[in-house]
């Protein structure tokens, strides 16, 4: 059984598809790797934020983006949140959104 990728919402999926072309190309490349090899690719592609929250690290000439995700039983990767980085440190607000959605996903897990 291979991995699959799902999105927290349709709105989030549409927002990701509207990323600048270079970041979108990196997203597609890293997503393909995750589908084949699993969600824990390691640096520079992915990094654990804590026990259940991970980030996909995207970089291109247009800038830097982070996509937060978690995993569920059945080899599912759930994309929770994304943002374009404008500062060196991940903004607390962005991390809080991802953690809130993570709790929602985990609480709805059957």
Dist CA 1 CA 18 (whole Å):
30
pTM given for the model = 0.91
Q: 3-state DSSP helix/strand/coil percent for the chain, to nearest 5?
A: 35, 30, 30
* pLDDT value of residue 88: 85
Confidence at residue 109, expressed as pLDDT on a 0 to 100 scale? 66
Interhelix angle 10-17/21-37, nearest 10 degrees: 120
**pLDDT (tens digit, 9 = 90+) per residue, 39-66?**
989 899 999 998 899 999 999 999 999 9
| Domains present along the chain, CATH in parentheses | 4-107 (3.30.2310.20)
Residue 110 has pLDDT above 60, yes or no: no
CA distance 89 to 103: 23
Confidence class for position 1, pLDDT limits 50, 70, 90: low
Q: Is the peptide bond before 16 cis (omega within 30 degrees of 0)?
A: no
């Amino acid at each position: 059984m291979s991995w699959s990728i799902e999105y927290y919402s349709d709105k989030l999926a549409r927002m990701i598809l509207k990323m600048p072309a270079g970041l979108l190309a990196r997203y597609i490349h890293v997503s393909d790797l995750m589908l084949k090899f699993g969600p824990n690719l390691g640096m520079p592609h992915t990094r654990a934020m804590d026990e259940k929250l991970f980030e996909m690290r995207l970089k291109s000439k247009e800038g830097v983006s982070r996509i937060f995700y978690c995993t569920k039983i059945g080899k599912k990767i759930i994309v929770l949140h994304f943002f374009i980085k404008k500062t060196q440190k991940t903004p607390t607000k962005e991390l809080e959104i991802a953690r809130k959605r993570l709790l929602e996903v985990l609480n709805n897990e059957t």
